[in-house]
Amino acid sequence: NSINILFSLSSKLLNTINSINIDLFDINGQKVRNVSKQKVNDGLFKEIISRKSKRGSILPQGQYILKIHSKSYSNEKLILFVN
């Protein structure tokens, strides 16, 4: 019950940020939990996103928004949890 994500950031962007946050939101925009906060090293990131809420309960199937952001960067991706 998890999703593996892999993403990279451009070298131009890497020069402007120190860390990156990854947050999970429900489709209504309510924050479900913080997935990760990482220091920026080489620009390659790999995360395993579980279906658990911050309280530890399993999230229902459906669409969620994964927000990858820092002070000067923001990107959102739609993900789908299915049973």
Q: In the 3-class helix/strand/coil scheme, how is 19-73 assigned residue by residue?
A: EEEEEEEECCCCEEEEEEEEECCCCEEEEEEECECCCCCECCCEEEEEEEECCCC
Q: 15 or 71: which carries more pLDDT confidence?
A: 71
pLDDT for res 4? 86
The pTM score is 0.84
- pLDDT tens, position by position, 49-63: 889 888 989 999 999
pLDDT band at 31 (very low <50, low <70, confident <90, very high): very high
For residues 59 and 77, give the distance between their C-alpha atoms in angstroms, rounded to a whole number: 18
Q: Any idea how long the chain is?
A: 83
- pLDDT at 22 exceeding the cut of 80: yes
Q: What is the DSSP letter of 12?
A: H
Residue 6 has pLDDT above 80, yes or no: yes
